[in-house]
Amino acid sequence: MRKKFARAGLRKFMLPALLLLALLLLSADAQFRRRGGFGRSYGADSPEAIQEQEQMQQALNPNFKEDVFTFARLVFDADDSGYLGGGRRWEDDSPEADLNLTFRLFQVTSLKIRPGLNYINITTGELERYPFVYMAASGRLVLRDQEVTDLRRYLLNGGFLMADDFWGDDQWDHFYGQMKRVFPDREPVELSLDDRIFQTVYNFKQEPQMPSVGSFLQTGQSFDPYWPYGNKDHGPHYYAIYDDKHRMMAVLCHNNHFGDGWEHESEDQRYFERFSEKMAYPMFINIVYYAMTH
């Protein structure tokens, strides 16, 4: 949804109401393979992908073209010192991850989805257009002073952040330090499996963990083994940052790489069936539903 959500009343009433109406799953236990199957391996500029984007556009009501869910990806600077690993930046897994995710949401929910890519800067003017934003390569995040101020204002005004794609102690410590600049007086709270975010639409029996596809194909493990684990083990860790009214403003998906689960769903059938289908897409639906209805 691209309205200026910070207006009084809109944030409190319209977003939950619209999401409750829109996020009606076509089947509560919908299987993604039944709606497109394993192997969506075509590129972002392929005729198939273009046709999918056209389908999403045609499904929008021209009278309510702004009443849609937008997958907005944050653009930010990355630490290039080397000790946090190289390569992954804000655009990690895009565009394929963004396009796969939005089309899968279009397939298995009745949400109206904005087609295309939505890369946004961390400024008040950009953030206030989207109630939900996503961050990849979170472990290398570097915020400028003005971005610290704008991100704090956004989250306290009703916005929601999903931080993804970071592993091990070093990346956690670095990300934690950046978020403490945003909220010096707030601590991330680790979530347990009985938290509602794991039970809103899909009922998880264990906390989902999305490995990077390359690590899984090399090791068969559900985590990336090439990062330093010490204070925290290699299991999945989910944290929340709450406001003064105990509204969750951010969910931090540590030791996870959901973007790979969306981008590389066609890389390997085992990866698709074990992770993309059962974790990457369902957990994202849970997070969005929770964020927009609490």
* Residue-level pLDDT at 46: 82
Judged by average pLDDT, the poorest of 42-46, 50-54, 88-92, 256-260 is 42-46
Question: Is residue 20 predicted with pLDDT exceeding 50?
Answer: no
CA angle 51, 33, 91 (to 5 degrees): 60
**Could you tell me if 270 and 278 are in contact, meaning their C-beta atoms sit under 8 angstroms apart?**
no
Q: Is the pTM of this model over 0.85?
A: yes
Angle, alpha carbons 165-53-275 (nearest 5°): 35
pLDDT of residue 112: 87
Residue 18 has pLDDT above 50, yes or no: no
Neighbours of 100 (CB within 10 A): 26
Average pLDDT rounded to a whole number, residues 269-276? 94
What is the number of residues in the chain? 294
Q: Which CATH architecture has domain 10-29+41-293?
A: 3-Layer(aba) Sandwich (3.40)
Percent of the chain having pLDDT more than 90?
Answer: 71
Least confident piece of the model among 18-27, 109-118, 137-146, 205-214: 18-27
Residue 110: which pLDDT band, with cuts at 50, 70 and 90?
A: confident
* pLDDT tier for residue 37 given thresholds of 50, 70 and 90: low
274: nearest Cα among 38, 44, 103: 38
Whether the per-residue pLDDT at 17 is higher than 70: the answer is no
pLDDT (0 to 100) of residue 65 = 77
Mean of all residue pLDDT scores within the chain? 87
Q: By mean pLDDT, which of 10-24, 212-226, 258-272 is the weakest? A: 10-24
Instruction: Give yes or no for residue 208 having a pLDDT over 60.
Output: yes
